[in-house]
Structure 1
Amino acid sequence: MSTTDLGDAQSEGTHAVRMRGIVKRFGGTTVLDGIDLDVARGEVVTLIGPSGAGKSTLLRCINGLERVTEGSIEVAGQPLQYDEKHLNRLRARIGMVFQAFNLFPHMTVRENVAVAQRDVLGRSRGDATQRAQELLDRVGLAHKIDAYPDSLSGGQQQRVAIARALAMDPAVMLFDEPTSALDPELVGEVLSVMRDLASEGMTMVVVTHEMRFARQAADRVVLLADGGIAEQGPPTQVLQQPTSERGRAFLQELEES
């Protein structure tokens, strides 16, 4: 199965991600306990909840960075399998943006965005460079294309990381607290790029503590707590009029913080 097959499979179904009965244990600790979650193509889902609720773990399970203890996951219509060849093919279609930027310090911004296109997708140097230029312009960093990461601000580095993930033509983008390592004045520039992606129909699953982003950009907010989904629904419901006791408690915690 090629990466193209994964993209074709996505176009045939309605779900970019489907999770059933997901259990994840670390030793004797159960972090996720029976999670069922679908993410439709073109949907923006934000994962919120208290620290330790398993938000990042759930995200890492989607692209196989964490192996589930029980349950099944499909991405772009294909069951997640844990053999190395399948994982490599699958991850080529899942964009992942972490808290840390993870850019190659010895490469220019251009090379950071182009290298995986050549090595994983097999694009020519010219095509990879052209795509890198297009995406860096898209995230507002065309003028930094020849710069090295250590000369960029944290917000700029995170935008390069987003461009690098987009360069792989992902079926779904995963964001794990992408603004948590940034100074407050730099958060807005990253969230702006993410809002643009959402408005363009990119499928996104976002772990975030930025409730403003969740209100403005999410189609659905999923509240994780105590190993499960405590509540999910439109942002206006979950963040303003939660129906569950756990949801109301979380809202109160937000208002008091």
Structure 2
Amino acid sequence: MTFSVAATAESIAAVPVSIPAPAVVSGSSAATEKGRCAGCSVRSKGLCAALPAEELPELSAASRTINLLSSTPVVLEGAEADSVFTVVSGMLKLYKTLPDGRQQITGFATAGDVIGLAVGEAYAYTAETVTASTVCRAPRSALHRLMERRPAVQARLLAMTSVELSAAQDQILLLGCKTAVERVASFLLALSRRSRPLPDGCPSVFLPMPKVDIGAYLGLRPETLSRVLRKLEDAGAITRLTNDRIRLDDAAALEATATLAA
């Protein structure tokens, strides 16, 4: 299971339009942008993984790295969609706003995830930074030109779409069939696969988002989430190292718990 909202193949044909640029802490200058893509830490994870080295200068010229504070919107639900964003570092939450103003969290995007692949002319969700983050913004028109010349980029998008659709199905299973303990175990395992292990090799997860957001994603009340985490800790499956870092002491036990409903 991944943590970004599923893109669709229809995204390829979306019409380029415009939204205001997000507020930034700082952005790279044109001079420092040259050759930036060649040394990007997430090049192997995003759409640009399908590009050969000779295509990277054009992408570097068309895109821009943006450093963002926490709680900064990157895309806004309903806004005109003209850009695609790759998360370089940090974490974003993706959500839809209900008519009464409540937020339904639909995912969490981390390094390498691509957001903004909207269906049609508007973004279908809001993406907001959870932590200070860096994103790479590319105009949709530039992406379309690359797709026309490089079918491998389109194939990469379709492959990423397939993964995200599978993740959406997993999320339906999680919310519809799994117990609270099974949901939390599934969530921790999925996030650990996208996180670096501790120096001793033990898997861990970074949870900078508030419990209300995790609970909204898992369909649990914050107090239920806290109770389940305590239960897993008492069972020796996890250790809470800090408020936002959890070590997975018994990944096999978590795996067994997470698959009970499958």
Q: Calculate the TM-score normalised by the size of structure 1.
A: 0.30
Q: Calculate the TM-score normalised by the size of structure 2.
A: 0.30
